[in-house]
Structure 1
Amino acid sequence: MKKKLYEIVYEDKDLIIVNKSAGLLVTADRWDSEAPRLDKILEEALLKKEQGSKICNSKIYPVHRLDKDTSGLIIYALNAEAHKILNDDFQNRKIEKIYHAVSAGCPREENFKTDAKLRIDGDKMHRTLIDEKKGKDSLTEFYLLKKLSRFSLLEARPITGRTHQIRAHLKHLGLPILCDSLYGNGEPVYISALKKNWRGDKYEERPIISRLALHAHSLKFFHPISREKIEVSADYPKDMAGLINQLSKL
């Protein structure tokens, strides 16, 4: 069965909000120009829609980004006016983005934050680094949603919008996101590694999750044209839901 790449959770003539799967780029990537891209996939899908639908053109305008391996919600504008207003709203921190992550370790407090400055593309692996001298002001607020034995389900609210901000900040706090190949050990999670008495076949075992355990869970903002309040959320994909379920049993 072919994996579903995305699901439309909201659309009108001005914008479209999509719940994307992990492993899919949201816009052009300088490292792999041939990789599948959500913006191009959506443009092709919109182009095929019948005339008279709510969407009056097929051009997609990106207004923010999600990492390739992050699942969840992303907004695209569908005209220049909505694009400009949404861009301004993102820059002025008027759009609330909420992420959920499963991290290694447990925080000491239920509510915490970090304002460690971040320097983008700071090493040969193109990672975002903590740099209090040359880094840019950055702020992420965190909330402990659930303790999962020696792991945690966290809510992250990035106030600024630096590349890899949540990932770099959690590494800095000693709470790297599971399966993060840049800021953690990148290792897939197996039931056999979690349960001492597991009796399955290790040669046949498949990982519970093998990609970054980070999900763009919800968005709250005012519509760029009508200014009506929009609140949307996206359920966890199967792998992340399975991970949380298994860790809850430890």
Structure 2
Amino acid sequence: MEETNTFRTTSEYEGKRLDQFLSEQYEEHSRSFLKKLIDDGSVWVNGKNTKAGYKLREDDEITIRLPELEETDVIAQDIPFDVVYEDPHLLVVNKPKAMVVHPGHGNPSGTLVNALLHQVKDLSGINGVKRPGIVHRIDKDTSGLLLVAKNDEAHRGLAAQLKKHEIRRTYLALVEGVVTEDGGRIDAPIGRDPKNRIKMAVTDRNSKKAVTHFTVKRRYAKHTLIEANLETGRTHQIRVHMAYIGHPLVGDTVYGRKKQALTQEGQMLHAYRLAFTHPIKKEDLSFQIPLPVYFVKVLRKLARR
């Protein structure tokens, strides 16, 4: 069924774009989905339709009508994946490297969503027909733990925790160069790269606050294994932040070196730990998985040098 919500802006949102404001209120929806609602006339500011780029003022009244979800046209596919935890409300899965999370341009099939539809009877519908059950994402070439909601109540609870930064996501990453500090905090806003719209960048233009904490786990001759904790969850956050401080991820040809000597399989990034409060049972849950084979092989190669 349709859902209608109304917000009233405060001074902190003065000058912010309408689509950016809505994406902060609905992190479970993509910005393109919300922009389409604006373009289709399902969003009103002070009773009138406006454009996605409208700059908000203090005390603006924003009303949004979320449409009833359509039946998904995404096909179910028998693709194996590891289920780390499952109950009637949610799953924690171990996404393999090279698997896209949900269908999109250029990836209509072979995704985690295609696999979920085959293996799981019910998935939440909050995130739209192309992304049923998907609470958060990790990149195609990032492996590791991912939360999936089976119903809308669980999805809303998990999305609320995500928005409040209460879901603790920890990654292991192999970066270029020797990191001399034992750890650190990177606080640098991330938005679309003004020079290349398919990339993200540290920028003050149309960006969001982004904070990454990291700890050195092991140093090699010319590389460093780090543990990274996300305080926020921006697109490509760890990749962008580590490149920003001069230590791009090994294997990352987008933000790091174009020619890679150690691996040709994408960035060395693995989501190995996940902790959150169960949205229905209110129990604290924590999961940890070992490094995958591809990651271990590279580390063994470095240890022999």
Same fold (TM over 0.5): yes
Q: 1:176 to 1:228 in 2, by over 3 A?
A: same
Match of 2:27 in 1: none
Q: Are 1:173 and 2:248 matched, yes or no?
A: no
Match of 1:19 in 2: 94
Match of 1:213 in 2: 268
Greater Cα offset, 102-111 or 128-137:
128-137
SS at match of 1:73: strand
Q: Cα deviations across residues 158-214 of structure 1 (Å, max 9, x unaligned)?
A: 111110010000000100001102101244444xxxxxxxxxxxxxxxx5x522100
Root-mean-square deviation (Å): 1.8
SS at match of 2:120: helix
Greater Cα radius of gyration, structure 1 or 2: 2
**Separation in 1 of the partners of 2:194 and 2:287?**
34
Match of 1:40 in 2: 114
Specify the code of the residue in structure 2 equivalent to 1:241: V
Identity percentage of aligned residues: 30
**Separation in 2 of the partners of 1:170 and 1:42?**
32
Specify the code of the residue in structure 1 equivalent to 2:202: I
SS at match of 1:128: strand
Q: Are 1:76 and 2:131 matched, yes or no?
A: no
**Separation in 2 of the partners of 1:95 and 1:215?**
17
Specify the code of the residue in structure 2 equivalent to 1:32: G
Aligned residues: 220
SS at match of 1:240: helix
**Separation in 1 of the partners of 2:211 and 2:261?**
29
SS at match of 1:61: coil
Q: TM-score, normalised by structure 1?
A: 0.82
For structure 2, the residue ranges without an aligned partner over 5 or more in a row are 1-78, 125-131
Q: Cα deviations across residues 136-175 of structure 1 (Å, max 9, x unaligned)?
A: 2111001000001110001111111110010000000100
Match of 1:140 in 2: 212
For structure 1, the residue ranges without an aligned partner over 5 or more in a row are 48-56, 191-206
Greater Cα offset, 131-140 or 173-182:
131-140
Specify the code of the residue in structure 2 equivalent to 1:45: Q
The 4+ residue runs of structure 1 with deviation greater than 2 A are 57-60, 120-125, 132-135, 186-190
Instruction: Select which of 97, 100, 103 maps to 1:28.
Output: 103
Q: TM-score, normalised by structure 2?
A: 0.68
Q: 1 or 2 for the larger relative contact order (CA 8 Å, sep ≥6)?
A: 1
